[in-house]
Structure 1
Amino acid sequence: MDPQNIRRCFAALRAAIPEPKTELIYGSPFQLLVAVVLSAQSTDKAVNACTRTLFAVAPNPEAMVSLGEDGIKAHIHRLGLFNAKARHVHALARQLLALHDGEVPADRKALEALPGVGRKTANVVLNTEFGQPTIAVDTHIFRVGNRTGIAPGKTPLAVEQALLAAVPAEYRQDAHHLLILHGRYTCTARRPHCGHCPIFQCCEWPDKHRWAAKSSPGGA
């Protein structure tokens, strides 16, 4: 997709989503970090249901360490991979206390050194909490980047690098949430809602007209 068309896409996305932000509920950088770790292969809705009670009893690293792995499991057992997630959350809380005075570092290398924190999680925290223009490529952003032609790539890292190179400077801070919300609610994996897509005109997906007919009133 050419740069002018990409700019049109992001202008349309911002008009449709004027205040893009995460749907995870949290009250501190630590709680955001924990919520993002828990969100792997889980929906934000499911994570929020668990963290509502978890953060009530363990709102900070000290309390999370005191709660222990079994205590954490009791609050997150409805999530997939809850055993590994409990282990990671407990360990990262301990490491934050030991190495960072209980504070979440605003540094990629330090974040990725924490248990259970990979590049995608670090990108979410750096963008959402610390205002850095990072893009965490999840399944939604990977699909949107490839389907629309904005940032095609065979791997999440390839799509991330393509986006960082292509997104106009004025949209880089919001690009992560604009794309993820667009993928979550409009450019869905199954039955995409092309009939009321804000970037229909600039999208390069060959099947968009067929799906527009299906998702419009009276469509099959």
Structure 2
Amino acid sequence: MKIKWIEIFKILEDFQTGYDLPSVSLIGNEEGSPFKILISTLISLRTRDEVTLEASRRLFESADTAEAMMKLSQEEIEALIYPCGFFRVKSGNILTISKEIVQNLGGQVPSSKEGLLALPGVGLKTANLVLSLGFAIPAICVDIHVHRIANRMGWVKTNKPDDSVPALEKILPREYWIPINELLVLFGQQICTPRSPKCSQCPLHEHCRRCGVEQSR
């Protein structure tokens, strides 16, 4: 089956209409700050979107730059981002990253994958999201939704999200590297759910191989 990328992304873009953007995308659109995108992405890990958005906004009301953030104590950051998942670990990473940016990186968030991955708590998903949303550098951010849908559609055959990145880079036109995360996260939350996906309602059913789907609605 030939992958009809133009048709697929047009369907995904139309589907997105009427829904709120993912929390990090909202913050990126509102602020456009690589630092805020980096920090909100860290907060978002294993945390619901609505919790991420509220926690990020509370934190940025107190400190919206690396310089301001490093003046907070870890306990203050913990209180501001609670109840996000692993808030104690994340608060420590946020403080360490802020100090690293100010003291060793000239006050700037790294604009390279290697530079971002060197920061504590930053994995490939976070690095690529910061590159794409913070710097408009084409990078494929693969989270559990993108990984699941890419495999179900039959685009890739991979075991974990980080493996899906190079697999998608080989086949996905570069113009779609940035929007794929935002579009598939929403689609994965609403239609292509982890269990019993809503295949009967799916606007992509003609393009999907339904790989691994045993039960659907």
Name the TM tier (shorter chain): 0.7 to 0.9
Q: 1:210 to 1:22 in 2, by over 3 A?
A: closer
Deviation, 1:36, is 0.5
After superposition, the C-alpha distances for 1:183-206 in whole angstroms (9 at most, x for unaligned) are: 122111133222221211111006
Deviation, 1:96, is 0.5
Deviation, 1:85, is 0.4
Q: 1:208 to 1:81 in 2, by over 3 A?
A: closer
After superposition, the C-alpha distances for 1:59-91 in whole angstroms (9 at most, x for unaligned) are: 111111111211101112211211110100000
Q: 1:70 to 1:206 in 2, by over 3 A?
A: closer
Cross-structure match for 2:49: 44
SS in structure 2 opposite 1:151?
Answer: coil
Unaligned runs of 5+ residues in structure 1 are 215-220
The alignment of Structure 1 onto Structure 2 pairs a total of residues equal to: 211
Are 1:132 and 2:137 an aligned pair? yes
In the alignment, the residues of structure 2 paired with residue 137 and residue 196 of structure 1 have an alpha-carbon distance, to the nearest angstrom, of 24
Q: 1:208 to 1:153 in 2, by over 3 A?
A: closer
In the alignment, the residues of structure 2 paired with residue 150 and residue 6 of structure 1 have an alpha-carbon distance, to the nearest angstrom, of 11
Q: 1:107 to 1:201 in 2, by over 3 A?
A: same
Cross-structure match for 1:34: 39
Equivalent residues of 1:142, 1:156 under 8 A apart: yes
Are 1:23 and 2:7 an aligned pair? no
Q: What code does the residue aligned with 2:11 have?
A: A
Q: What code does the residue aligned with 2:68 have?
A: A
Unaligned runs of 5+ residues in structure 2 are none
Equivalent residues of 2:141, 2:178 under 8 A apart: no
Matches within 5 A, 1:171-182: 171-182=176-187
Q: 1:182 to 1:174 in 2, by over 3 A?
A: same
Deviation, 1:210, is 6.3
Equivalent residues of 1:144, 1:179 under 8 A apart: yes
Query: Structure 1-normalised TM-score?
Result: 0.86
Q: 1:48 to 1:99 in 2, by over 3 A?
A: same
Cross-structure match for 1:65: 70
Q: For 2:91, which of 86, 98, 108 is the aligned residue? A: 86
Q: 1:207 to 1:152 in 2, by over 3 A?
A: closer
Cross-structure match for 2:123: 118
Cα RMSD, aligned residues only: 2.3
Identity of aligned residues (%): 31
Cross-structure match for 1:13: 12
Equivalent residues of 2:37, 2:130 under 8 A apart: yes
